[in-house]
Amino acid sequence: MADVVATNETIVVIGGGISGMTAAVEAAETGKDVILLERAPSLGGRVSQLYKYFPKLCHPTCGMEINLRRLRGNRRIKVLTLAEVQKVTGEAGNYQVTATLHPRFVNENCTACGACAEAVTAEIDNPFDYGLSRMKAAYLPFTMAHPQRYVIDPSLIGTEEAQKAKDACRYDAIDLDMKPETVTFSAGAIIWATGWRPYDAAKIQPYGYDRYANVITSVEFERLADTRGPTGGRILRPSDGKEAKNVAFIQCAGSRDRNHLTHCSRICCMASLKQTTYMRERFGDDAQSSIYYIDIRAIDRFEDFYQKVQADSTVKFIKSKVANITEDEATGDVILHGVDTEGYHRYDNRHDLCVLAVGMEPSVDVRRIADVAVDASGFIEVNGPNGAIFGAGCAANALDVNRSVQSATASVLRAVQVVNRVAKAEG
């Protein structure tokens, strides 16, 4: 990685999702040098796995296209993928960032022609679809992946398959001898944008996520609805591939719960409301969506969206934290048990599919890597004594996309203040 030049006027952005990409392009377009580190083989992050955004029901890749164009056109940004940050030391204006660069086994020569994937037969779970589909072990992470370069899965290394992939490549792009590399570079300020991960739904034992095929998470449901997803956008339930026309959405699956996540994850209500529109889009008046909620948190301008969904006769709202789920083994249907607390009504409701609106938790335990203050949920404190390490997006709070972008943009100014000070001091 000899071509990575970093000084203590460089801003290092950790995480290449919507927040990190935003931070990187906004900083670079302000004239700052940026190194953008992403652990996965592609930029894009979690939003690239969403079918649509609320409240406009537009597509995340639309914004990503613009951001990628800005990023590709800006020579101040150096992107490193498969880069896992191990340690951050130093202080404001003078940090050392150490990262491991995992091997992609594919170099810059790759044209994304796809010949290696054609040559390989081995398949692995597709993480882009949360394992709901399989893919070749030589793969492009997704159609809009950046960099547009294939990846050879490490499981292939040392097998004949790997050789087949290499032999299929006419551009000498496959290098099976790549080794992990450790790199260290300087930074004046660090923007921490490592985002979130869905709370492990299996921990909510009475919902049977680990036992019932037809209990899935909200992020998995996005993949089912996505026309680029494992079912081509048909909402089919996992147990038998039947169309899931009657779907339950359970709010606060992990959030607002002292036994799980104490915070409210903010996005889940809106995500479920949005997902009822997928139901209507697919099944029209035959759709049946039921939202089980404690409070519908369609905050500020999102209230419109809530009102629109409320007006849809195919959507029902039940004020209830579902007690437990059982499975009808004969049909695979799920039966939700609980009490509607608005007037006390017990229910045992049968659904084709149940979607758990899982909460957000920080994807990385930041304190293992750097000396920063986090709140009780592990989010980086924006006002904490963190030197020039600035949390952005969901690393700093449970945020929706719009607020993540806002947070990322704000973090850029905080970083710019530091590197400008450094520049001034250095003349």
Partner 1 sequence: MSDLNTTMVNEYRSNFLKEVEANVEEGRWVKMCMQCGVCSGSCPLGPAWEHPPQEIFMMIRAGKRDEVLKSESMWMCTSCYNCIVRCPRELPITHIMHGLANYAHRLGLAPKMNPTRRFAKIFWDNIVKSGRVNEIELSLRLYFMDGFKNGVEKAWSMKDIGLGMLKARRLNPLGFVTHKGCKDTKGIHRMLKKAREIEDRRKGFAA
Partner 2 sequence: MADMKIGAYVCQGCGLGERLDTKALAQVAQKEGKAHIVREHEFLCNAQGVAMIQKDIDEEGVNRVVIGACSRRAKAEAFHFPTVAVSRVNLREQVIWSQPATDEARELTQEMAEDYMRMGCAEAKKVVAPTPNAAVGTNKRILVVGGGVTGMTAALEAARAGYDVLLVEKTAALGGVMAKLFKRVPFREPYSDPQPTGVEDLVAAVTNEPRITVFLHATTTRTSGAPGQFSVDITTESGQTQTENVGAIVMASGFTPYDASRLPELGYGKSPNVVDQSGLEALALAAAAKGEPMRRPSDGREIKSVVFVQCAGQRDASGTHLRYCSGHCCNTSMKQAMYFKDQNPDIDTVVLFTDLRTPGNGEDFYRSAQKKGVTFTKGKVSGVEAAGDGSAVVKFHDLILDEPAATMAGVDLVVLATGQVPNSGVNIDIPADATDVDDKPVEHAVSVLNLTYRQGPDVPQLKYGFTDSHFICFPYETRRTGIYTAGPVRRPMDIAQAMDDATGAALKAIQEVENAALGRAAHPRSGDLSFPTFRREGCTQCKRCTVECPFGAIDEDEQRYPQFNEGRCRRCGTCMGACPVRVISFENYSIDSVGSQIKAVDVPDEFSEKPRILLLACENDAYPALDMAGVNRRVSSAFVRTIPVRCLGSVNTIWITDALNSGYDGVMLMGCKHGDEYQCHFVKGSELAAYRMSKIDDTLKNLNLEADRVRNLEVAITDMERVPQLINDYAAKIQEIGMSPFKGF
405 contacts which partner out of partner 2, partner 1, none, CB within 5 to 8 A by kind? partner 2
The footprint of partner 2 on residues 178-217 (CB under 8 A) is none
Among 58, 91, 180, 181, binds partner 2 (CB under 8 A): 58
Distance CA 399, CA 195 (A): 10
Pick the binder of partner 1 from 324, 331, 367, 426 (CB under 8 A): 324
116, 171 contact by CB (below 8 A): no
Q: Which of residues 92-151 bind partner 2 (CB under 8 A)?
A: 109, 111-113, 143-144, 148
Give the integer Cα–Cα distance in Å for 50 and 286: 24
Q: How far apart are CA 355 and CA 219, in angstroms?
A: 9
Number of Cβ within a 10 Å radius of residue 371: 14
- 338's contact among partner 2, partner 1, none, with CB below 5 to 8 A by partner kind, is partner 1
Phi-psi region of 83 (alpha: psi -120 to 50; beta: other; left: phi over 0): beta
Part in contact with partner 2 (CB under 8 A); list of ranges 6-14, 24-32, 153-161, 350-358: 24-32
Size of the site for partner 1 (CB under 8 A): 21
Give residues 327-386 in contact with partner 2 (rule: CB under 8 A). 341-344, 375-377, 381-384
Give Cβ neighbours of residue 170 (< 8 Å, ≥ 6 apart). 115
Q: Is 228 in the site for partner 2 (CB under 8 A)?
A: yes
The correct pick among 211, 331, 413, 426 for binding partner 2 (CB under 8 A) is 413
Nearer to partner 1, 124 or 294 (CB): 294
- Residue 266 binding result from partner 1, partner 2, none, given CB thresholds of 5 to 8 Å by partner type: partner 2
Strands 11-14 and 34-37: parallel
Q: β-pairing, 94-101 with 181-187?
A: antiparallel
Considering only residues 327-356, where is the footprint of partner 1 by CB under 8 A? 337-341, 344, 346
Q: Which of 41, 249, 281 is nearest to 137 (CA)?
A: 41
Find tokens 């099944």 and name the residue.
283
Look up residue 131 and give its amino acid. Answer: G
Between 249 and 283, name the residue whose CB sits nearer to partner 1: 249
Residue 354, classed as helix, strand or coil, is: strand
Q: Does 7 bind partner 2 (CB under 8 A)?
A: no
Is 353 strand, coil or helix?
Answer: strand
Residue 260 CA to chain centroid, in angstroms?
20
Q: Which stretch binds partner 1 (CB under 8 A): 138-146, 169-177, 314-322, 358-366?
A: 314-322
Please give the structure tokens belonging to residue 13. 């952005």
Interface with partner 1 in residues 239-278 (CB under 8 A): 252, 256-260
156 binds partner 1 (CB under 8 A): no
For the chain, the first-to-last Cα distance in angstroms comes to 28
Region from 33-41, 61-69, 178-186, 194-202 binding partner 2, contact rule CB under 8 A: 61-69
Residue numbers at the binding site for partner 1 (CB under 8 A):
206, 252, 256-260, 294, 319-324, 337-341, 344, 346
